[in-house]
Amino acid sequence: MSADALVKIENLSVDFSTAKGALHVLRDVSLSIPRNRVVGLVGESGSGKSTLALALLGLLPDNTGRVAGRIELDGENLLDTPPEELQKLRGGRIAMIFQDPMTALNPVFSIGTQLVDAQRNRHPKIGRRELLKRAGDMLKRVGISNPEARLAAYPHQLSGGMRQRVMIAMALLCEPDILIADEPTTALDVTIEAQIVKLIGDLRADFSGSIVLVSHSLGLISELCDEVAVMYAGKVVESAPTKNLFGNPRHPYTLALLACEIDPEDEPGEPLTTIKGGLPDLIDVPKGCIFAARCPSRFDRCAEEPPLRDVEAGHRSACWLA
């Protein structure tokens, strides 16, 4: 979008090899992540949003087949970067918050040890005592009371919400340029979710990097993100500043997603809105518009694949009707 993009993903395609053939998980994804902004990636399960996050980290699974395109971090193509260099980037310039805080911490080490470990790539020369102190300060910043006691605690002694705060602290301690949060609240109950959302919102103020927020919750996205990319079946179908996307959606899939949100005003017993049909086959990908089979406004031209194009400044949609 702008020249000031921190990360620029261009025509990224990723295939997974399966027994039935190549699974086209990401197809021709282009996306840019501006500096100091929060970009939301939204889409249903299997749309490729988590794969995109893993590709950014250089941690695609072992069964990854073909990878094509570019992922540029400050102009450097991550896909050409040797694994040792990538390993140094992780936990340095790129960090990630995982979905399930109950399992994302090593059960046999104390919180303090793990927080110190996480800083190793960023600050190889600082001593353990100093790193531990920084860890304590960070715990306080993410809203954990009595950080000294928590540093000595083991993961199973903390609640889910506290563990997610620890995960966030761990990622922030890396002082990353880009922080990837993969469904950071999915595993938490709603009251804790609200607290974590508020925490991420508060941290935005003094966090200097960009955040990529992967979620299927439109509420979360609208609350936290500056820009949103909607993914469907391995493609970005619409991307726009948050206000435009929610105020003036220009792709039928986005509209359908919005319609699926539960409205608390609904009468009890009112059936929930769904999108009819299922995700298309990603091994033998159908021709034409990928959403056509489930689209209520389908017409003749949908047999031809619509490109992702600007419909207004900063707002792109892959639909002939947009």
Partner 1 sequence: MEVFRRIWASPSGRLGMVATLLVILGGVAAPLIATHMPNQLDVAARLTPPSAAHWLGTDHLGRDLFSRALFGTRIAVGVALAVTATALAAGILLGVVAASGPAAVERTILAAFDIISSFPSLILALALVAVLGPGLINIIILVTIVFVPQFGRVARAQTLAVKERPFIEAERALGASSGRVLTFHILPNIVGPIVVLASMNIPVVITLEAGLSFLGVGIRPPLASWGTMLFDGFTYLEQSVWPVLVAGGSLTLATLGFTLFGEALRDALDPKLRREP
Sites of contact with partner 1 (CB under 8 A): 57, 59, 87-92, 95-96, 98-100, 103-109, 117-118, 120-121, 156-157, 167, 170-171, 174
- In 3D space, the residue among 193, 228, 236 whose CA is nearest the CA of residue 47 turns out to be 236
Q: How far is the CB of 176 from partner 1 (least distance, A)?
A: 10
214 sits in which H/E element: strand 210-215
Among residues 121 and 273, whose Cβ is nearest to partner 1?
121
The distance of closest approach from Cβ of residue 54 to partner 1 in the complex, given in angstroms and rounded to an integer, is: 9
Rounded to the nearest whole angstrom, what is the least distance from the CB of residue 201 to partner 1 in the complex? 23
**Cβ 183 to partner 1 shortest distance, Å:** 12
- DSSP letters, 144-209, are -SSHHHHHHS-GGGS-HHHHHHHHHHHHHHT--SEEEEESTTTTS-HHHHHHHHHHHHHHHHH--S
Residue 248 carries which side chain, given as an amino acid letter?
A: N
Residue closer to partner 1 by CB (options 158, 290) is 158
Least separation in angstroms between CB 53 and partner 1: 9
- Judged by CB, which is closer to partner 1: 56, or 228? 56
- Minimum Å gap between C-beta 36 and partner 1 is 22
Of 166 and 290, nearer to partner 1 (C-beta) is 166
Q: Which is nearer to partner 1, 83 or 269 (CB)?
A: 83
Contacts of 113 (CB under 8 A, 6+ apart): none
Bridge partners, residue 29, by sequence: 12
Q: Which is nearer to partner 1, 103 or 297 (CB)?
A: 103
